[in-house]
């Protein structure tokens, strides 16, 4: 009986564990070589300060890929958590799904928990 209760508590604890801010900061380390989140300065990729709510392709002085510019021109959407999650999972597939062919960003965050953590990090810190 004790084993069953312990197992149930352990499983519930695993499934409902919230994403911690420290998790996002840790995942961000994979992104920071190419992006800034706390200043409006481009690197290899565009800066991500103010990414939530920003229209696609709106970072000045950044040279976006032609396919990315094409999909942004076709429909002026703004970044939110759901779009970021889809993009970070597979940037190439994201662009293809919207009528482009490829993305300049080859990096993928395959684990959903990592995507959730870095999106929360950006939501909290990239203002």
pTM score, two decimals? 0.82
Measured CA to CA, the distance from residue 75 to residue 73 in angstroms comes to: 6
CATH code for the part of the protein at 20-125: 1.10.760.10
Cα within 13 Å of Cα(122), Cβ side: 28
Q: Quick check: 119 and 113 in contact, CB under 8 A?
A: no
CA distance readout (Å), 110 to 27, 88, 114, 125: 12, 8, 8, 22
Beta bridge mates, 78: 55
pLDDT digits (tens, 9 = 90+) for 13-26: 444 456 766 799 99
Task: Average the pLDDT over 66-72 and give the result.
Answer: 94
CA 79 to CA 65: how far, in whole Å? 17
Q: How large is the angle between the packed helices 112-125 and 81-89, nearest 10 degrees?
A: 130
pLDDT band of residue 117 (cuts 50, 70, 90) is very high
Domain boundaries, the chain: 20-125
Q: Give per-residue pLDDT as tens, 94-115.
A: 999 999 999 999 999 999 999 9
């Amino acid at each position: 009986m004790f084993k069953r209760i312990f197992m149930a508590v352990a499983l519930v604890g695993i499934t409902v564990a919230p994403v911690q801010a420290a998790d996002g900061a840790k995942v961000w380390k994979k992104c920071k070589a190419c992006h800034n989140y706390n200043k409006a300065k481009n690197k290899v990729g565009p800066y991500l300060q103010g990414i939530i709510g920003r229209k696609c392709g709106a970072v000045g002085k950044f040279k976006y890929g032609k396919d990315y510019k094409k999909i942004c021109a076709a429909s002026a959407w703004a970044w939110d958590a759901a779009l970021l999650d889809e993009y970070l999972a597979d940037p190439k597939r994201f662009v293809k799904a919207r009528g482009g062919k490829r993305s300049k960003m080859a990096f993928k965050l395959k684990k959903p928990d990592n995507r959730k953590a870095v999106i929360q990090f950006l939501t909290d810190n990239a203002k």
